């Protein structure tokens, strides 16, 4: 068969490459060689032809006139956004000769890659790039901006990223959507819950903001930010006190139930109600509902773990299903993320052995601003791809200051001249995921999918794999690892007998079927990858790592005396900063807003639609106020990562703290304090 790229017309299978749990199956419609329509694949077993508006409008991004077609070099002052086109030869020559000099003078650790999952394809996100930077001996990046705290927390309880199969939640009777804005961020979980609802299921949403998901719920429970572990401990208190626990399950499958029973006595409902802001009656109703409904499913979101205490919050909530024995019932249990089932051979893909045991330093991506400003052993070159740190990283003014340093040689590989690329010395055009071969493993629905290139490479753009091969060749790296094809790499990654769930997933089965499911089996009866093989309500390992062995509530850090907690969450029509530079998507989202409680707005003389200034010691923003009942007093919520626009102060991360969470060195975007006032020009 002709490769898809050479067929000018037709409908071709694809997969959504965005960092979204749903990882939809897609169909790309081509006419005269151009993709004219992006549609959901109706045959995909989970996503079933439904896709979000963002991706339905993807062609506007693919062929956006602003999309990069050629390499660019800076011709004005740093950050001025003035660039001139150059050839790929000149670009690769410039980078490699600069790096050779830097390595001779300062060693390879003065070079830092910065990347994340702008394209979830595993070859793009953690393939040839990792091989290259390992071989180079560059500083390593700790990629903990997203789910690090929660993953580590969940792991202490459950041993790894293993939750229930979302397809089974069709049988669930009680959904607790906890710190997840699923209508915007996991829409197919909402679709499944809707179907379960027809069979009598109830949906409870626990969030600091009554957003679209809260409005969709049968019962919305507003909670004060960063107090979720206290709520979970209060529920446990009531479950034990009212004998709503499943003792046979606890005896067989858990460690530490007796210790936990004693420990949660201190989290009496009155205390928990004060901490969380949840009325006493509601606390009892929720705990009893949870204790009496089977199967129930707790979908643990990413929002609640972007706090100082986020790891412990997830660790604590993950204990709940064990107390009532949910795990033995189809549709019962919890999920934070399911990446454990589809774990592949990342050693073969990333080749850390190419580092040859050199101990290189590691830099946390959440503290990139600070790292760039470090005077001792400074970072002298930053290579950014598949991420947009100037917009997405916390404490943005510091990031900007770092990027503006004259001595820093910055290269950005992206589809657009992003906020970060504005500060670059060289900008390289990247292909979209539809232009290159890759494989995708969902962290929610347990299917692996393959992408074969569908459209010709746009302009002179190159994929991540191609780019790092070119760089390797020019650096003189001769290892076979830098010669391998996409197909070779996919085969190596899937060759992983350590993970029995991957059994049926091969290059052949993917090429034939487009999506193949993990060989799923129930977690229980069975052994978990915890030290005891059981659910660890009490964890010895946590003591070794310096934590309390039992789930515990610790308040978030008060980082100033300012009166409001600020929650700058994602929005519906962007994906992190992706789409924030496409007119179509901006028009769907309109403008950045600030949600506040109407009592607070009354006290401050702020009316609906007023422009308000929010600020703290890190920075300031000016947004449009939306007073109402959607947040509790003392809480402010914005949505979306809006790009800097002349005359507007809407760079949300100018306000966010860059300290690290209790576990996994994660980001704490939602634990910062601010003040707010009516804005006068």
Ligand X SMILES: Nc1nc2c(c(=O)[nH]1)N[C@H]1C(S)=C(S)[C@@H](COP(=O)(O)OP(=O)(O)OC[C@H]3O[C@@H](n4cnc5c(=O)[nH]c(N)nc54)[C@H](O)[C@@H]3O)O[C@H]1N2
Binding site for ligand SF4 (CB under 6 A): 16, 18, 20, 22-24, 51-52, 54-55, 187, 575
Task: Single out the residue of 541, 516, 517 nearest to residue 528, CA to CA.
Answer: 541
Nearer to Mo ion, 118 or 256 (CB): 118
Nearer to ligand X, 81 or 529 (CB): 81
Which region among 123-131, 140-148, 350-358, 663-671 touches Mo ion (by CB under 5 A)? 140-148
Q: Which does 185 bind (CB under 5 to 8 A by kind): ligand X, Mo ion, ligand SF4, none?
A: ligand X
CA-to-CA dists, residue 49 to 25, 439, 644, angstroms: 7, 20, 35
Q: Which does 189 bind (CB under 5 to 8 A by kind): Mo ion, ligand SF4, ligand X, none?
A: none
Nearer to ligand SF4, 23 or 302 (CB): 23
Q: Decide: 133 and 112 in contact? Cβ < 8 Å.
A: no
Q: Decide: 35 and 29 in contact? Cβ < 8 Å.
A: yes
Strands 25-31 and 672-678: unpaired
Give the CA-trace dihedral at 280, 285, 290, 295, to 10 degrees. -160
Nearer to ligand X, 530 or 582 (CB): 582
Q: Which does 184 bind (CB under 5 to 8 A by kind): ligand X, Mo ion, ligand SF4, none?
A: ligand X
Q: Decide: 282 and 206 in contact? Cβ < 8 Å.
A: no
Q: Which does 148 bind (CB under 5 to 8 A by kind): ligand SF4, Mo ion, ligand X, none?
A: none
* CA-CA-CA-CA torsion sign (7, 509, 353, 17): positive
CA-to-CA dists, residue 91 to 71, 72, 86, 384, angstroms: 7, 8, 7, 15
Q: What token pair was written down for 458? A: 């746009």
Which region among 97-105, 145-153, 245-253, 565-573 touches Mo ion (by CB under 5 A)? 145-153
Nearer to ligand SF4, 51 or 455 (CB): 51
Nearer to ligand X, 155 or 577 (CB): 577
Rounded to whole angstroms, how far apart are CA atoms 541 and 643? 42
Cis check: omega of the bond before 604, within 30 degrees of 0: no
Q: Which does 641 bind (CB under 5 to 8 A by kind): Mo ion, ligand SF4, ligand X, none?
A: ligand X
Rounded to whole angstroms, how far apart are CA atoms 350 and 332? 36
Strands 83-85 and 111-115: unpaired
Closest distance of CB 192 from ligand SF4, Å: 13
Q: Which does 316 bind (CB under 5 to 8 A by kind): Mo ion, ligand X, ligand SF4, none?
A: none
Number of residue whose CB is nearest ligand X: 303
Number of residue whose CB is nearest Mo ion: 146
For residues 571-600, which are near Mo ion according to CB under 5 A? Answer: none
Closest distance of CB 3 from ligand SF4, Å: 24
Give the CA-trace dihedral at 564, 569, 573, 575, to 10 degrees. 150
Q: Which does 16 bind (CB under 5 to 8 A by kind): ligand SF4, ligand X, Mo ion, none?
A: ligand SF4
DSSP symbol at 551: -
Closest distance of CB 20 from Mo ion, Å: 9
Q: Does 149 bind Mo ion (CB under 5 A)?
A: no
Residue 657: CB atoms within 10 Å = 23
CA angle 455, 458, 463 (to 5 degrees): 85
Nearer to ligand SF4, 106 or 584 (CB): 584
Q: Which does 381 bind (CB under 5 to 8 A by kind): Mo ion, ligand X, ligand SF4, none?
A: none
Closest distance of CB 47 from ligand SF4, Å: 6
Rounded to whole angstroms, how far apart are CA atoms 44 and 46? 6
Task: Single out the residue of 10, 78, 69, 3 nearest to residue 39, CA to CA.
Answer: 10
Which region among 142-150, 205-213, 381-389, 622-630 touches Mo ion (by CB under 5 A)? 142-150
Question: Based on the number of CB atoms within 10 Å of its own CB, is 498 exposed (0-12), middle (13-18) or buried (19 or more)?
Answer: exposed
Rounded to whole angstroms, how far apart are CA atoms 229 and 241? 18
Closest distance of CB 420 from ligand X, Å: 8
Question: Based on the number of CB atoms within 10 Å of its own CB, is 102 exposed (0-12), middle (13-18) or buried (19 or more)?
Answer: middle
Nearer to ligand SF4, 303 or 394 (CB): 303
Rounded to whole angstroms, how far apart are CA atoms 601 and 603? 5
Q: Which does 392 bind (CB under 5 to 8 A by kind): ligand SF4, Mo ion, ligand X, none?
A: ligand X
Q: Which does 415 bind (CB under 5 to 8 A by kind): ligand SF4, ligand X, Mo ion, none?
A: ligand X
Q: Does 146 bind Mo ion (CB under 5 A)?
A: yes
Closest distance of CB 467 from ligand X, Å: 8
Q: Which residues bind ligand X (CB under 6 A)?
A: 19-20, 116-119, 124, 145-146, 178-181, 184-185, 206-209, 211, 223, 225-226, 228, 301-304, 307, 385-388, 392, 413-416, 418, 430, 433, 464, 567-572, 574-578, 637, 641, 652-653, 656, 669-670
Nearer to ligand X, 467 or 528 (CB): 467
Q: Which does 451 bind (CB under 5 to 8 A by kind): Mo ion, ligand X, ligand SF4, none?
A: none
Closest distance of CB 188 from ligand SF4, Å: 7
Closest distance of CB 643 from ligand X, Å: 10
Q: Estimate to the nearest angstrom the gap between the alpha carbon of 421 and the chain centroid.
A: 21
CA angle 373, 376, 380 (to 5 degrees): 60
Residues 6+ apart with CB under 8 A from 357: none
Backbone angles phi, psi at 73, to 5 degrees: -120, 150
Nearer to Mo ion, 149 or 565 (CB): 149
Rounded to whole angstroms, how far apart are CA atoms 678 and 596? 13
User: Binding-site residue total for Mo ion (CB under 5 A)?
Assistant: 1
Backbone angles phi, psi at 671, to 5 degrees: -110, 15
Nearer to Mo ion, 116 or 538 (CB): 116
Rounded to whole angstroms, how far apart are CA atoms 667 and 671? 9
Closest distance of CB 24 from ligand SF4, Å: 3
Nearer to ligand SF4, 52 or 138 (CB): 52
Closest distance of CB 326 from ligand X, Å: 20
Q: Which does 577 bind (CB under 5 to 8 A by kind): ligand SF4, ligand X, Mo ion, none?
A: ligand X
Q: Decide: 636 and 676 in contact? Cβ < 8 Å.
A: yes
Closest distance of CB 373 from ligand X, Å: 20
Which region among 72-80, 138-146, 227-235, 324-332 touches Mo ion (by CB under 5 A)? 138-146
Nearer to ligand X, 225 or 325 (CB): 225
Residue 611: CB atoms within 10 Å = 15
Residue 121: CB atoms within 10 Å = 28
Task: Single out the residue of 587, 567, 594, 604 nearest to residue 650, CA to CA.
Answer: 594
Nearer to ligand X, 72 or 223 (CB): 223
The residues of the shown chain that bind Mo ion, judged by CB under 5 A, are: 146
């Amino acid at each position: 068969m002709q490769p898809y790229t050479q067929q000018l017309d037709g409908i071709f299978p694809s997969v959504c490459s965005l960092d979204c749990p749903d990882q939809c199956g897609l169909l790309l419609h081509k006419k005269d060689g151009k993709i004219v329509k992006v549609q959901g694949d109706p045959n995909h077993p989970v996503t079933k032809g439904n896709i979000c508006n963002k991706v339905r409008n993807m062609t506007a991004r693919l062929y956006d006139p602003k999309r990069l077609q050629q390499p660019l070099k800076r011709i004005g002052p740093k950050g001025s956004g003035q660039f001139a086109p150059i050839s790929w030869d000149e670009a690769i020559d410039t980078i490699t000769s600069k790096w050779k000099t830097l390595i001779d003078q300062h060693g390879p650790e003065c070079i830092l890659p910065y990347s994340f999952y702008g394209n979830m394809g595993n070859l793009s996100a953690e393939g040839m790039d990792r091989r290259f930077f390992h071989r180079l001996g560059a500083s390593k990046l700790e990629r903990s901006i997203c789910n690090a705290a929660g993953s580590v927390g969940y792991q202490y309880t459950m041993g790894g990223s293993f939750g229930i199969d979302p397809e089974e939640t069709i049988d669930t009777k009680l959904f607790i959507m906890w710190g997840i804005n699923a209508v915007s961020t996991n829409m197919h979980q909402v679709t499944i819950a809707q179907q379960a609802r027809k069979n009598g299921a109830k949906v409870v949403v626990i969030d600091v903001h009554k957003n679209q998901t809260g409005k969709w719920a049968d019962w919305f429970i507003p909670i004060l930010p960063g107090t979720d572990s206290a709520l979970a401990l209060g529920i446990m208190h009531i479950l034990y006190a009212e004998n709503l626990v499943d003792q046979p399950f606890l005896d067989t499958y858990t460690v530490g139930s007796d210790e936990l029973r004693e420990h949660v006595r201190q989290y009496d409902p009155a205390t928990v109600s004060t901490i969380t802001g949840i009325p006493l009656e509601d606390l009892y109703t929720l705990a009893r509902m949870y204790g009496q409904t089977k199967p129930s499913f707790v979908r643990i979101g990413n929002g609640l773990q972007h706090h100082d205490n986020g790891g412990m919050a997830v660790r604590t909530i993950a204990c709940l299903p064990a107390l009532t024995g949910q795990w033995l019932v189809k549709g019962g249990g919890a999920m934070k993320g399911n990446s454990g089932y589809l774990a592949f051979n990342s050693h073969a893909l990333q080749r850390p052995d190419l580092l040859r045991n050199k101990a290189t330093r590691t830099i946390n991506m959440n503290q990139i601003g600070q790292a760039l400003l470090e005077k001792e052993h400074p970072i002298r070159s930053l290579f950014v791809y598949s991420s947009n740190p100037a917009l997405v990283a916390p404490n943005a003014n510091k990031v900007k200051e770092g990027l503006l340093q004259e001595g820093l040689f910055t290269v950005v590989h992206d589809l657009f001249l992003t906020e970060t690329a504005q500060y670059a010395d060289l900008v390289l055009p990247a292909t979209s995921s539809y232009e290159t071969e890759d494989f995708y493993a969902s962290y929610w629905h347990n299917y692996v999918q393959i992408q074969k290139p569908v459209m010709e490479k746009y302009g002179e753009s190159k994929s991540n794999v191609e780019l790092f091969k070119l760089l390797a060749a020019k650096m003189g790296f001769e290892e076979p690892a830098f010669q391998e094809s996409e197909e070779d790499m996919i085969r190596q990654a899937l060759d992983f007998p350590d993970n029995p769930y991957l059994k049926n997933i091969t290059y052949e089965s993917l090429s034939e079927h487009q999506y193949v499911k993990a060989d799923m089996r129930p977690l229980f009866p069975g052994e978990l990858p915890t030290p005891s093989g059981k659910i660890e309500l009490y964890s010895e390992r946590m003591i070794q790592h310096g934590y309390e062995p039992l789930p515990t509530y610790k308040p978030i850090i008060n980082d100033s005396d300012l009166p409001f907690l600020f929650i700058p969450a994602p929005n519906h029509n962007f994906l992190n900063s992706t789409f924030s530079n496409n007119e179509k998507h901006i028009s769907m989202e309109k403008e950045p807003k600030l949600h506040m409680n109407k009592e607070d707005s009354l006290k401050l003389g702020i009316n609906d639609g007023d422009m308000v200034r929010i600020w703290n010691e890190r920075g300031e923003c000016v947004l449009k106020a939306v007073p109402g009942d959607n947040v509790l007093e003392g809480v402010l919520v914005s949505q979306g990562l809006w790009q800097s626009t002349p005359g507007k102060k809407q760079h949300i991360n100018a306000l966010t703290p860059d300290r690290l969470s209790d576990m996994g060195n994660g980001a704490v975007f939602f634990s910062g304090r601010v003040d707010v006032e009516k804005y006068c020009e």
